[in-house]
Structure 1
Amino acid sequence: MRYRKLDANGDYTFGHQQADFLRDSPETVAQAVSTRLKLDQGEWFLDKTEGMPWKTQVLGERTTATRDSAVQKRVLGTQGVTQIASYESEFDSETRKFTPTVTIDTTYGQTTISENL
C-alpha cells in the first residue's frame, strides 16, 4: 500500500521523490483512515455517495445512536484495516467537536488514530 504523505497543514508533500510517500506501514493505513473520515459525503465529484455522513449520522440532531457505528463502518472499510481493537469517542455539544479515538489492527501492525472532527 502506498500513500502520499501529508504535511502539518494537511496538504500533499511534493519535491522529495520517494520520500513523499508512506509505504506498507501502520502509519500509511492511519493516514488513509484519517483522510477517509475527513471526506464529507457528496464532496467528491466522481462519486457523490462516497464520504462520511457527517450532517445526517454524526453531527446532526439525535445522532447519538448512529454516530459511532458510522465512524466504525468507515474505518473498517479502509484498505489495510483488519479490525478495530478499541474505540472511544467524545462529542462536545457546545463546540460541536467530535473526537473519535480508534486503535486499529492493520495488515502491517497496530496503530491509533485520534482526530478532532
Structure 2
Amino acid sequence: MRYRKQDANGDFIWGHQQNDFWLNTPDGVAQAVKTRLLLFVGEWFLDVTDGTPWTTQVLDKYTKDQYDAAIQDRILGTPGVVQITSYSSSVNTSTRVLTVTASINTQYGQTTLSTTI
C-alpha cells in the first residue's frame, strides 16, 4: 500500500520524493482510516455512495450505539485493516467534538490512531 503523507493540517506533503509516501506501513493504513472517517457520504463526486454517514447516522442526540457501529464499519472497510483490537469514542457536548481512538491490526503490523471530528 502506497499512501501520500499528510502534515498536521491534513495537507499533502510534497518535495521529498519517496519520503512523501507511506509504503506498506501501519502508519499509512492509519492515515487511510482517518481520511475515510473524514469523508462525508456524497462528498466525493466519483462515488456519492462512499463516505461516513455523518448526517444520517452520527450527528444526532442519543445515537452513540449507531455511530459507533458506523465508524467501526468504516475502519474495518479500509484496505489493509485486519481487525480492531480496541475502540473508544467520546463526545464533548460543550465543544461539539467527537474523539475516536482505535487500536487496529493491519496487514503490516499494529497501530493506534486518534482523531477528532
Please report the RMSD computed on the Cα atoms of aligned residues, expressed in angstroms: 1.0
Task: Give the Cα separation in 1 of the matches to 2:55 and 2:96.
Answer: 12
The aligned residue for residue 75 of structure 1 is 75
Q: Contact between 1:59 and 1:96, CA under 8 Å: does it hold in 2?
A: no
The aligned residue for residue 86 of structure 2 is 86
Gapped runs of 5+ residues in structure 2? none
Shift in Å at residue 113 of structure 1? Answer: 0.7
Shift in Å at residue 17 of structure 1? Answer: 1.0
- Are residues 1:19 and 2:19 paired? yes
Shift in Å at residue 62 of structure 1? Answer: 3.4
Q: Secondary structure at the match of 1:115?
A: strand
Q: Secondary structure at the match of 2:65?
A: coil
Q: Deviations over 1:28-65 (max 9, x none)?
A: 10000010001111110111111111111111233223
Shift in Å at residue 94 of structure 1? Answer: 2.4
Gapped runs of 5+ residues in structure 1? none
Matched length: 117
Q: Secondary structure at the match of 1:66?
A: helix
- Residue identity matched to 2:107: T
Q: Secondary structure at the match of 1:86?
A: strand
Runs of 4+ in 1 over 4 A off after TM superposition: none
Shift in Å at residue 95 of structure 1? Answer: 2.0
TM-score by length of 1: 0.95
